Structure 1
Amino acid sequence: MPANETAPRILQVSAFYPAHGGGIEVVAGKLAEGLASEGVQVAWMAGGLAEEAPAGGDGLRIERASAIDFCERYLGLPLPLWGLASLRKLWKEVRCVQLVQVHDYLYFPSLITLLFAWCLRRPVVVTQHIGWIEFNSAAARFILRLLNNTLGRFVLSRVGRVVYVSRPVADYWAGILRSEQPGDVIPNGVDHQRYSPAAPASRGGVLEFLFVGRFVEKKGIDLLRACLDIPGIHWTFVGWGPLSPRLWGLSEQITVVEGLRAEEVVRYYQQADLLVLPSKGEGFPLVIQESLACGTPVLVSDEVRMAFPSLDERCVFAADVSGPDAVIQLRQALSRLASEPDALRQVRPHAEQLSRQWSWESCVQAYLGIYQDLARSFSGCN
């Protein structure tokens, strides 16, 4: 596509590329691809292995950073550190663009990019995917609260624009920023060509319940371990992380699949009767949109349920997992659904229809409008 003369040259920075695994990286990838298809010149810099970097294409240039990440390996928290050569490359990239797009403030690459952009007076758009995370650890909650109320407030109140992926995330940060930076809410899209319904396999009265995501605390994986004995359900866990269900010693009762690419997860959505994701502290997980697009209803936390722009209670179920009785609440919700397998399977058309409210095309157009607004005051590359 010919270059879009009204759009600025953009540098996008994320912690990783989509092949690494994670919803933030998928959003970054879809945004980069969508902008390039609109004629925008995009450079995308992220860390990871050489085989994880996408190929790029017309209007999209890929710059890989060398990174180490000990925290993710042992704690499940992605906190990559970039090498000096990559930081020098990042400085040059920031110099040669008109606008910088950063995904989530609390990453080392994000903070360094923001510092470079401020030094070079480049406008910045931060997409804030995450709000509050109700960690089980009191110490972890204290640290996150301290960081968000100090560093987070400082950063988000001083960038050109802030984009939130859902209304609950925006409301959380509004309480911290105190209207210093109201921000925009732009829901993520979904690829309806890749994620689409298919006839599920016949399993009689046994329901197939599915978990997709990283095996970490905030995804609610510990809560699901206490629900495996509910009768009439077979569980499949797709993902990776330090809290893998493989460690539970229940190989005959559950199926655990690790290391899949995005396109390989589609059939698990299509064959499941219900996606179960009792997560905490997330804006709006992409797996929910992908599951619904495949015609599979979802059970989420009350927190995530509130993030739906438009809701259909026939195919979106919820449980309150915020308190000490989280396991009880989740078991009750799952037991109710498992008691009526035919009713659960009949809501698949409603799930697919609900997913039509999201598209990457509308998401990209909303971002493009923000970029053009900021670029109007930019005088050119130094």
Structure 2
Amino acid sequence: MKKAFIISNMYPTKEHLAYGVFVKNQVQQLNAAGIETVIAVNDNPATGKKNVIKKYTKWALNVLLTFRKNKREISLTHAHYVFPSGLFSYYLKKRYKVPYVVTAHGGDINKMAKKSARIKGYTTKILQHADHVIAVGEELAQTIQQDYGIEPAHISVMSMGINRNVFKPADKQQMQKELGMDSERTNFLFVGNIIEEKGVYELITAFQQLEKAPAGRATLYCIGSTKDAGFTEKVKALVKSEHIHFIEPMPQAELARYFQAADVFVLPSYIEGLGLVALEAMSCGTPVIASSVGGLKYMLAEDAGVLVPPMDAVALQQAMEQALTGLAINEAKVQELLTTHDAQNIVVRLKAIYANVE
């Protein structure tokens, strides 16, 4: 093939390290596997109507100018997030007959498409005219098939993949020492945006109740962007414990050290397309407690992790209390998952999809 034109409404910068970092990772993995790419991405996470109009106008011009400049070399476009990114792929197919692949990440189907009938209509067109649809999790794929009439043959379930050269096991006690963690305590870790939908409020509530237990010697590290100022204030007002630490996003090599050092990773989300961070934790040898939602309930089935109901601080506390003395994890299932989601294996599958589409 010639070049793949990658279009995404999320892409990281030095100032916003976690903003769509999985897209950048996949672009780099494609390049390493011999697939040339050109990109047109939005790397500005600013919210508010005026900011959104400004940044998306700039991004739209970038998409069109980048396509015009590379038109003869582009074999296909690959849009990350059905709407709005897929709208450009849909237009380029209609106008220039360029085939496209679109990856649904979860929020685009579970949240964005529900905002208005107009966005639902765009989402339907984008999915139905795509040459192939990728869903990052099983439940997401089922929703796309049932609600948008996409044939199973035109959809693949495939995560963004984990880089097991970065996310790998290390000496836990040594890593805890390097990061200043107390190895006499159980160190819980959360990674994700500090927003309501990630279950942060329930996590803080559960942790503080856990500390009241006789054996509740624990510490909680929350790594993520505090972009929702109102919610962040609400959460920090809830915090009474000196053993809860909020840390801003960091480069993935540094983040991997926290995964390696943590005793338990917790992801109590309300919704998740897949929950790639849970896989990254597992790849570092850290057991996972997560909500039974989206791709997580498939990923952590068969005791690959511990599942709890979403929005249930009591059930979450009970699972975390169980973790104080150790979780029973099916290690064979974990290794099977890690092989399936290894970035190198994902890129092989993606190259095959590209070959069938172009």
The reply to whether TM is greater than 0.5 is yes
**2:221 pairs with 209, 229, 236, which one?**
236
- The one-letter amino acid paired with 2:341 is W
* Counterpart check, 1:10 vs 2:4: yes
| Corresponding residue number in structure 1 for 2:33 | 38
What is the Cα deviation at residue 80 of structure 1?
4.9
The 3 A distance-change label for structure 1 pair 116 and 90 is: farther
| Corresponding residue number in structure 2 for 1:27 | 22
| Corresponding residue number in structure 2 for 1:271 | 261
What is the Cα deviation at residue 157 of structure 1?
0.7
| Corresponding residue number in structure 2 for 1:161 | 132
What is the Cα deviation at residue 213 of structure 1?
0.8
The 3 A distance-change label for structure 1 pair 134 and 44 is: closer
| Corresponding residue number in structure 1 for 2:345 | 362
| Corresponding residue number in structure 2 for 1:215 | 194
Aligned positions of 1:336-375 closer than 5 A: 336-338=322-324, 340=325, 343-344=326-327, 353=335, 355-375=338-358
Q: Identify which range, 36-45 or 97-106, moves more after superposition.
A: 36-45
* Deviation string, structure 1 residues 51-85 (Cα, Å, up to 9, x no partner): xxxxxxxxxxxxxxxx57324999xx999513264
The 3 A distance-change label for structure 1 pair 307 and 21 is: farther
- Asked if structure 1 preserves the Cα contact closer than 8 Å seen for 2:137 and 2:159, the reply is yes
Q: SS state of the match for residue 275, structure 1?
A: strand
- Asked if structure 1 preserves the Cα contact closer than 8 Å seen for 2:17 and 2:250, the reply is no
- Asked if structure 2 preserves the Cα contact closer than 8 Å seen for 1:283 and 1:307, the reply is no
1: distance between equivalents of 2:189 and 2:23? 25
* Deviation string, structure 1 residues 176-223 (Cα, Å, up to 9, x no partner): 123456411123321111111122237465211110011112211122
Aligned positions of 1:141-152 closer than 5 A: 143=115, 146=117, 149-152=120-123
| Corresponding residue number in structure 2 for 1:53 | none
- Asked if structure 1 preserves the Cα contact closer than 8 Å seen for 2:89 and 2:100, the reply is no
Q: SS state of the match for residue 298, structure 2?
A: coil
- The one-letter amino acid paired with 1:234 is T
- Asked if structure 2 preserves the Cα contact closer than 8 Å seen for 1:292 and 1:298, the reply is yes
- Asked if structure 1 preserves the Cα contact closer than 8 Å seen for 2:128 and 2:149, the reply is no
The alignment's C-alpha RMSD in Å is: 3.3
**1:89 pairs with 31, 48, 65, which one?**
65
Q: SS state of the match for residue 163, structure 2?
A: coil
- The one-letter amino acid paired with 2:83 is L
* Counterpart check, 1:318 vs 2:301: no
What is the Cα deviation at residue 130 of structure 1?
0.7
What is the Cα deviation at residue 123 of structure 1?
0.4
- The one-letter amino acid paired with 2:162 is V
What is the Cα deviation at residue 262 of structure 1?
1.4
What is the Cα deviation at residue 250 of structure 1?
4.1
Q: SS state of the match for residue 197, structure 1?
A: coil
2: distance between equivalents of 1:104 and 1:171? 17
2: distance between equivalents of 1:358 and 1:296? 16
Q: SS state of the match for residue 215, structure 1?
A: coil
What is the Cα deviation at residue 333 of structure 1?
2.3
- Asked if structure 2 preserves the Cα contact closer than 8 Å seen for 1:295 and 1:350, the reply is no
- The one-letter amino acid paired with 2:57 is W
**1:254 pairs with 240, 244, 249, which one?**
244
Q: What is the number of equivalent residue pairs in this alignment? A: 333
The 3 A distance-change label for structure 1 pair 133 and 89 is: closer
2: distance between equivalents of 1:189 and 1:35? 12
1: distance between equivalents of 2:93 and 2:169? 43
The 3 A distance-change label for structure 1 pair 205 and 129 is: same
* Counterpart check, 1:305 vs 2:277: no
Unmatched runs of 5 consecutive residues or more in structure 2: 177-181
- The one-letter amino acid paired with 1:217 is E
Alignment TM-score, normalising by the size of structure 1: 0.76
Percent identity of equivalent pairs: 21
- The one-letter amino acid paired with 2:296 is R
**2:145 pairs with 150, 160, 174, which one?**
174
